[in-house]
Structure 1
Amino acid sequence: MTHAEIAVLDCQLWEVDENLMRAELTPTQMGEHLVKRKELWEARELAGNLSRNPKVVGLGNLLPKQQSWGA
């Protein structure tokens, strides 16, 4: 996932959070927003884990090896 795609997820999370702060949401609407927030958060965390450590989901062999500057 690219940094731009992660930024889009962040913006969507912010929007959901803003909506959750509004007092006029019905309990059903609040539940729907919480489900959406969980989905976005999980997608964001997976994207972050992939960018930091691709082996978390078994993709480590697909990416080029990082070069060591000292060797």
Structure 2
Amino acid sequence: MGKQRTNITIDADLLAYAREKGLNVSAITEEALRAARREAWAQENAAAIDSLNAWVEQNGLPLAKYQVLKV
């Protein structure tokens, strides 16, 4: 997926600091948005993940008997 230009409003002092330090505001913003998306996904799927983990703890891994390397 390509990049798209957008406008955002940032505190002037923070923007001046970012420029002074040579920080890439676009890259920082993208990473913050990716982190927010990961966190939202984890929260939205927490119940399913907990349920699966509980099932595995109770029943073991479904194909464990076929596991070649035992850890």
- TM bracket (short chain): 0.3 to 0.5
Instruction: Report the TM-score, using the length of structure 1 for normalisation.
Output: 0.38
Structure possessing the higher relative contact order (Cα contacts under 8 Å, 6 or more residues apart)? 1
For the pair shown, which has the larger CA radius of gyration, 1 or 2?
A: 2
TM-score of the superposition, structure 2-length normalised? 0.38
